[in-house]
A and B are shown apart, each in its own frame.
Chain A
């Protein structure tokens, strides 16, 4: 399968998750509300979008880790003469590991998205637990920290003159997750949080 077609397996769920997270997510979720009743409320939609985004982010991070491992074997996956060439980015040993930790960026991404998934999914399953607000704050903080990592990785890409489309999908997932955690954190501070049916028409 072409590497850019394969990328769609991660990009489409990330975009769908982002659309659900955004305030106008209702227009997207409408047809699915009878199957997934939780999509009727704003809280349910943001949680669903957030979980979808975290799963897609974790999956695309694993894919970049896999590509990095394959490249170290001497193989290639998405080499290209165009500016979109993840092989050139992920195969560059000067930039493909986390400074000081020497672990692949893909490995770090997978671990972080696993933590975000845990924070989002556990809060979704028990939204009225006392620890939910802490989970949402932690999620917001972690994804906000991700912006600095994204800035560093984009700086590397500019230096190399190449863009890794798989990495960019993971970056997009982090941005979407930040919006999701932030919106949920704000919602959690209002009394509407418990009364999800009051949000149905909002």
Chain B
């Protein structure tokens, strides 16, 4: 309902002139100021300092007390900032006016015909360069590409389950499950057996518990220099340093193991590959086709009833596959198999054309034609072979070619 504005009371008119002087009053104060029995404060007209000023002077014991020139006058923040801005503007004007007074010799001046070599004025300057670092692009938690292959999704789910249970066995917090970037899958050899409460893992020599837990630990940048290293850290750094503490001047050239050698030996290649930071998840993806057969179907029954395990598994699966899982799917997935069916379901297509294109029986019929976009009147003319003629005729008559 629209609010009816209240008509001012006639008594308010009495104080309007006084209240209007002070514009920086909240609504409540303004209202209370509307009427007062005390007479308004006026500055003495005889040139004497006002009473408050005289009190200030007496308090400080001097004729020029410190503080604002008029502490009870322009107390508003806006007034002060406005004055300050005005002062700085004036100062700028003086500075700006200074160099203009210098008379330059303009005899050799030739106006530029092109913009080559001229200073650029305006624009963003180096803002983009400073704020958009092309080398350190943003990388989201989910990979950009969603895994569509059912085998890859199955492998990723089993890996997530094994890693979650491995972390629990090692006594590590499950929140560390996705701390590290996904690398080579070590869990394919691990046997996963469902139990009543969860699952048990049987490790092999190729993939031990330590290896898996280590692979999940986030990589620490050892080369980074700390501002205030602790004593133990200094010791470690000294151990690893190539500088001889006894002969600090005699520095050996640090060996860059990741540098590309012309003819590296096999072991050098392996070491370089291990330490190289450029290895990405895409390079470490593996083919799960053979592994899925060896795993059997027993592991599909692994229970995800424990919410902590379920959350860790889902977090890791999302990181590995790029598939977003709805809350409803999380809630209703009690076993690995239930979760797998949710993961493997392709997302609903947003356009009917995509669904129709997948129907081979329909698309191969000679009397059916499916258009992805709206068939416009111009399209119809074009199909009939008339559009060129219409266009030519419109051009001939100097008419605009409009429409769709």
A binds B: no
Residues of chain B whose beta carbon lies under 8 Å from any beta carbon of chain A: none
